[in-house]
Homo-oligomer: A and B are copies of this chain.
Amino acid sequence: MREVAVIGVGIHKWGELWEKSLRDMYVESALNAIKDAGVDKIDSMYVGCMSSGLFTGQEHIASVLADYMGLNPIPACRVESACASGGLALRQGFIEVASGMSDVVLVSGVEKMTDVDGNAATYALGTAADQEYECYNGATFPGLYALIARAHMEKYGTTLEQMADVAVKNHDNGSHNPNAQYQFKVTRDQVMGSTLIADPLRILHCSGITDGAAAAILVPLDMAKSMAKGPVIKITGSGHATDTIALHSRKDMTFLNATAVAAERAYKMAGVGPKDIDFAEVHDCFSIAEICVSEALGFFENGQGGPAAEAGKTRIGGEIPINPSGGLKAKGHPVGATGIAQIHEVVEQLRGAEGDRAIKNAKRGLTQNMGGTGGSALVHILEVV
């Protein structure tokens, strides 16, 4: 397998973008990535998108976007793994460059979520869970994560305050991110006093509904070395794993096995362990998710994710900064785009970001993106080489 590098990233300001279509957002972020990379051709493209069918009435979305980019007849492949669709697009592009089939691959993600009403969005997001056994019987996504939260509280003594601290940290970080949907800070009291969504989760424990896109350009490492104006950033590890689609089929609802297995694979490929990671962008669709993920990735022992968040270990400047971008919580969560936006943040940090959310001397970052309640997970490790 050839070694693979990221040479360009692109994004735009996320939010409720009623004036922009899915096509508009996509083209803006992809052109930003192409400009950032300085390439003059694209050999192949991947689009991560969860449900353009239910959200916008359009499938065949990779061909639509290749057309709108003026890139046809290049191969264009849409991949879907619910909220992990972006991470999956990265992995498939990585495999294509590694195989030698293509040299310059555009990997991207997009979701236009606000063109339907709240009920339709709740239904569409529910298709990431086991519809037949979970959602058709009344479960919603916040409801499923509320079950995980209750189980974690019961088993480990995790508190609602600890979960609130995850949201406070991510809003602090997001307040410095010009592309974030919610660029404001919140206090623990505000989180604890916000509207109840699915007991015990309140609205400030939850990520929002977002329109957005993100893109990155992958090339063989040798090409990156000859082109790069700044640091050369290599993808040293890629892991992908699945778990049962339904929560009730798992031995332990508090443990995200797909994330643990994907991480194990990525660490092995990169030849590193959790202690070697300088910072991480992870899938905090709900604040309890970030706690569970920080355990499954091996940053903390099982049950210690909550106390670690409370102690500030995951803040910028802490032991292992998590979600310097603001995470899904503050940056927003256009489901198909999230996994690619994580790569955007890691690349910006490894290039030596400045300002209030910069992680000093960061050389190795990790991304973790997951689908549904963890039925799929992607973990990638990026390093300055």
Return the chain B residue nearest A376 by Cβ.
Answer: B63
Partner of A245, one of B63, B73, B243, B261: B63
Q: Mark A148-191, 1 if CB is under 8 A from B, else 0.
A: 00000000000000000000000000000000000000000000
What's the least CB distance linking A47 to chain B, in Å?
9
A232: interface (CB < 8 Å): no
Q: Is the CB of B241 within 8 A of A128?
A: no
What's the least CB distance linking A379 to chain B, in Å?
11
Q: Which residues in B have their C-beta under 8 angstroms from that of A1?
A: 99-101
Segment 127-151 of A: residues with Cβ below 8 Å from B: 127-132, 136
Copies in the complex: 2
A77-B92 contact, Cβ under 8 Å, with A53-B54, A127-B53? yes
A273: interface (CB < 8 Å): no
A contact residues, total (Cβ < 8 Å) = 63
Q: Which residues in B have their C-beta under 8 angstroms from that of A124?
A: 53, 59
Q: Which residues in B have their C-beta under 8 angstroms from that of A242?
A: 62-63, 66-67, 71-76
Q: Which residues in B have their C-beta under 8 angstroms from that of A62?
A: 80-81, 242, 376
Sampled A-B contacts (23; CB under 8 Å):
A1-B99, A1-B100, A52-B127, A53-B53, A57-B127, A58-B127, A59-B127, A60-B129, A63-B81, A64-B245, A66-B242, A67-B249, A71-B242, A73-B257, A75-B240, A75-B242, A76-B242, A77-B79, A77-B240, A95-B96, A95-B101, A99-B100, A99-B101
